[in-house]
Structure 1
Amino acid sequence: MSSDAADAGEKKAALSLQWQMLGGFLTGLIAGLIVYMAAPDARWVDTVATYVTGPIGQVFLRLLFMLVIPLLVSALIVGIAEMGELRSLRRVGLRTLVYTLVVSGIAVVLSLVLVNLLRPGAGVDPAQAQALLADAGQGAKAILNRGGDTPTGVEAVLAIIPDNIVAAMAGNDILAVMVFALFFGIGLVMVQTDQSKLLLNAMEGLFEVTMRLMGLVIRLAPIAIACFMFNLAAQFGWDLLIRLSAYVGVVLLALALQMFGVYSLLIAFVARRSPLRFFAAVQEASVMAFATASSNATLPTAIRVAEEKLYLPRRIARFVLTIGATANQNGTAMFEGITVIFLAQFFGVDLSLGQQLMVMAVCILGGVGTAGVPAGSLPVVAMILGMVGVPPEGIGLVLGVDRFLDMCRTALNVTGDLVAATVISAGEDDGREEARA
């Protein structure tokens, strides 16, 4: 009873935080629009942004960046290692890992193609964008302590493999750090000894501690979002709302194409099932995911749907769905990719092909290692923005609509887990008979 009460309390607190974030978004937006219309050139506005709202936002970002490396490293290592923690399911675990990386890659590529074609962030006043970019970019550069040009070509490929992991962490080279975590997690899958289990337990402990600390930092998000939105709205005015509406539309379009396009093809040609029957069977789990905006809360329903309606092998369905609740997050990866490119367009930052490929790689790995806390993708998005020279303050623009988008991408995440379980089960000999037994 005490455990159930604690879970209920956490869900209630998370929902309350979402409403507080929405409140901060609206407060900052309305105040900024009022200032934009009433006193667009007043000096006191710059003073407030420089000495009040700006520093508050910077404190929030610094706390995020302080925790993001240990959080992502531990989350990715644990997520990968858990795929092979059962010897009897090691082959299934490796297939799940490969499937997750490939399908997440397809999701991110689709997202980047759409956001580059439709360009929802383009069209704002270039002078205003460059002015705010210059002011905010200094804060981001100070936080990340990054200097020099972004490597291109062969250098960019080599740079993702760190020759010194400590130096990569100190330099906030997030992609190199995540590649190290990926290999480290695979190593833990391959080595099944008492010592490796102790190491995995230590990583789980680090993950739990950093998640708790990140949860405390996220509680400051409503205030930070209000400050971010005030600065953005006072600078860009009504263009902000137009660009935000276009951004939401692109995110929803990308999620729909992944759901009914990519997943339908996987079900039809890989799992050799009827997509219409599949979507009819998983409807209950998808609706539950949309309503709760939580993959973990939907997990019992997803397992029951997999066993009773899709007739998947019990051991495979439970393994894949349990791992998928935290590791196979196509919707989250798509959200992160679209958000980064959208904000780059909004602030007038032209990203090279190499930079966009780097964004894609981080989003793929971030979909595996994103923490399951409210606004859990926030640290990943903020870090990628800093890496490509976009002000991390821009996250305030998208967090105001994150609750609705979170519901949509969670529905995609859970449906994607069921697709993964169906595809992976299709190659197993014990197939439906075990599930029917």
Structure 2
Amino acid sequence: MSPASETAGAPSARGLALHTRILIGFVVGVLAGVLCYRYAGSDSAWLNGVVTYVTQPVGQIFLRLLLMLVIPLLFSALVLGVAEMGDLRSLGRVGWKTLLYTVFVSAIAVVIGLVLVNLFQPGNGISETARAALLEESAAKAKSITAQAAPPSGIEMLVQIVPDNIVRAASGGDMIGIMFFALMFGIAMVLTPTPAVGRVKEFIQGIYDLSMTLIDRVIRLAPYAVACLLFTLTAKLGWQVLFLLGKYVGVVLLALALHQFVVYSAVVKFFGGMSPLRFFRSIEEAMLTAFSTASSSATLPTSLKVAEENLRLPPRISRFVLTVGATANQNGTALFEGVTVLFLAQFFGVELSIAQQLMVLGVCVLGGVGTAGVPAGSIPVIMMILAMVGVPPEGIGLILGVNHLLDMSRTTLNVTGDLAAAVVVSRGEAHETPAGEQAGGA
């Protein structure tokens, strides 16, 4: 587990965990903004001065710090996520089954999220006047992002997935091109097991570690940034923001519940040959650990224990699948990212076409592979996708305010998905293990 994961949810020197301080910043920002909206009015000169010269700049600096770290973090994480499947050469079909399962089930998770967001429209509800004002204020700041994010259409979009110049793609914010290059780079590392490539992997691991350390330091500023971002929004919109936020949380939790108890039950029964009731009873300990720690990596020892002792899966298979899955099989994270992007697009009145939503789906699936299995690891990925589809980044403060509850919930889904993958991949492999270690049947 990276150093960032050790500190992201740990108590500070003042005795308060980061998520608690973020929640305090959320409450302070909301209450102060609503009171100012109620008693001063959104047209107040002094209130506009506070927003223009204090809260907005602080929030913008925080967002720019996150955006600054997106490319090194996503490139290194995605390369390592693919390269860690180097055991594919020795495990053969086991590795490919794990990879195919991850992509397939992550895609289902994102589709569930996108369907529910389009069905319930949690981001709609503020007045057109307020939305127009928000867009007008954020237009100048998001102009460069939006200009780069406008996706091509048709066959041109397919062709441009492959970058002709990776340096130009990085400088121009072509995230799809960067992710494609990272995938190819990681696959090449798997196929080239030489000492020199091993040193390259160590170098990329160093970039990842440095990026995670910087992300950890930036996230420590989140309590102040969230207070400023929420003050800026609520001082202009009042209680409308809180109503929409409640709808958003409800949609995320509903999508997670559907994937947890419907999709995983079907996967375990039909592809793993195991009773869903037995499966969920056997993994209760891992689910509770995941919910309490909000970290797939921190839950890995418990997951390995329940896989071998309760589910009685072959250790050779479960250790590989669960270790890779702790970083590469993030179904809940992919779902959360898709819902969040569409929610913020609706909030700011940015219409996303079917092609753009499909692009979001694809990036979220890849993001599930390239997202760190630590608290708040998905925030940089969301920032990247927002930039790609031209959604102003100011609304991220809304998400950070309720992120810890959703992080605990989606981590539980991630860990459940890893164990479900171990059950599916183990089926048909049991004959290669000693008696008594075979995967359980229905």
Band of TM-score, shorter chain: over 0.9
Q: Which residue does 2:196 correspond to in 1? A: 195
Q: Which residue does 2:10 correspond to in 1? A: 12
How far does the alpha carbon of each residue in 1:34-93 deviate from its partner, in whole angstroms, 9 at most, with x for none? 111111221222222221111111111111111110100000100111012474224322
RMSD over equivalenced CA pairs, Å: 2.1
Q: Which residue does 1:180 correspond to in 2? A: 181
- Alpha carbons of 1:389 and 1:10: their partners in 2 closer, same or farther (altered >3 Å)? closer
How far apart are 1:431 and its partner, in Å?
Answer: 5.9
Code of the aligned partner of 2:20: W
Q: Which residue does 1:91 correspond to in 2? A: 93
- Alpha carbons of 1:319 and 1:362: their partners in 2 closer, same or farther (altered >3 Å)? same
- Alpha carbons of 1:208 and 1:149: their partners in 2 closer, same or farther (altered >3 Å)? closer
Q: Which residue does 2:28 correspond to in 1? A: 27
- Alpha carbons of 1:295 and 1:402: their partners in 2 closer, same or farther (altered >3 Å)? same
User: Equivalent residues in 2 for 1:14-413 (5 A)?
Assistant: 16-40=17-41, 41-85=43-87, 87-142=89-144, 144=145, 146-147=147-148, 149-413=150-414
How far apart are 1:11 and its partner, in Å?
Answer: 5.0
TM-score (normalised: structure 1): 0.94
How far does the alpha carbon of each residue in 1:311-367 deviate from its partner, in whole angstroms, 9 at most, with x for none? 111011011111111111111111110001011111111111111111111111111
**What is the distance in 2 between the residues matched to 1:226 and 1:59?**
13
- Alpha carbons of 1:161 and 1:309: their partners in 2 closer, same or farther (altered >3 Å)? same
Code of the aligned partner of 1:47: G
How far apart are 1:389 and its partner, in Å?
Answer: 1.8
TM-score (normalised: structure 2): 0.93
Contact 1:120-1:246 within 8 A present in 2 as well: yes
**What is the distance in 2 between the residues matched to 1:417 and 1:64?**
28
Code of the aligned partner of 1:400: G
How far does the alpha carbon of each residue in 1:361-385 deviate from its partner, in whole angstroms, 9 at most, with x for none? 1111111111244311111111211
Contact 1:313-1:432 within 8 A present in 2 as well: yes
Code of the aligned partner of 1:103: V
Contact 2:106-2:368 within 8 A present in 1 as well: yes
- Alpha carbons of 1:148 and 1:415: their partners in 2 closer, same or farther (altered >3 Å)? closer
Code of the aligned partner of 2:229: F
**What is the distance in 1 between the residues matched to 2:426 and 2:292?**
28
Please give the secondary structure, in 2, of the residue aligned with 1:12: coil
**What is the distance in 1 between the residues matched to 2:283 and 2:303?**
8
How far apart are 1:434 and its partner, in Å?
Answer: 5.7
Percent identity reads: 56
**What is the distance in 1 between the residues matched to 2:367 and 2:336?**
11
Contact 1:72-1:371 within 8 A present in 2 as well: no
Code of the aligned partner of 1:80: V
- Alpha carbons of 1:208 and 1:361: their partners in 2 closer, same or farther (altered >3 Å)? same
Larger mean Cα displacement after TM superposition, 54-63 or 145-154: 145-154
**What is the distance in 2 between the residues matched to 1:62 and 1:373?**
21
**What is the distance in 1 between the residues matched to 2:149 and 2:107?**
29
How far apart are 1:153 and its partner, in Å?
Answer: 1.5
**What is the distance in 2 between the residues matched to 1:38 and 1:10?**
37
How far does the alpha carbon of each residue in 1:1-28 deviate from its partner, in whole angstroms, 9 at most, with x for none? xx9x998767524871111111111111
How far apart are 1:139 and its partner, in Å?
Answer: 1.1
How far apart are 1:137 and its partner, in Å?
Answer: 3.0
**What is the distance in 2 between the residues matched to 1:232 and 1:7?**
30
How far apart are 1:293 and its partner, in Å?
Answer: 1.2
Contact 2:326-2:418 within 8 A present in 1 as well: yes
Code of the aligned partner of 1:417: D
State the number of aligned residues. Answer: 433
**What is the distance in 1 between the residues matched to 2:270 and 2:66?**
42
Please give the secondary structure, in 1, of the residue aligned with 2:10: helix
Contact 1:313-1:430 within 8 A present in 2 as well: no
- Alpha carbons of 1:167 and 1:145: their partners in 2 closer, same or farther (altered >3 Å)? farther
**What is the distance in 2 between the residues matched to 1:148 and 1:216?**
28
**What is the distance in 1 between the residues matched to 2:312 and 2:49?**
63
**What is the distance in 1 between the residues matched to 2:150 and 2:434?**
57
How far does the alpha carbon of each residue in 1:265-304 deviate from its partner, in whole angstroms, 9 at most, with x for none? 1111111111111111111111111111111111111101
Larger mean Cα displacement after TM superposition, 160-169 or 12-21: 12-21
How far does the alpha carbon of each residue in 1:392-434 deviate from its partner, in whole angstroms, 9 at most, with x for none? 1101011111111111111101000000111111132436646
**What is the distance in 1 between the residues matched to 2:345 and 2:336?**
14
**What is the distance in 2 between the residues matched to 1:382 and 1:10?**
18
Please give the secondary structure, in 1, of the residue aligned with 2:17: helix
**What is the distance in 1 between the residues matched to 2:198 and 2:97?**
22
Contact 2:88-2:94 within 8 A present in 1 as well: no
**What is the distance in 1 between the residues matched to 2:63 and 2:37?**
25
Q: Which residue does 1:420 correspond to in 2? A: 421
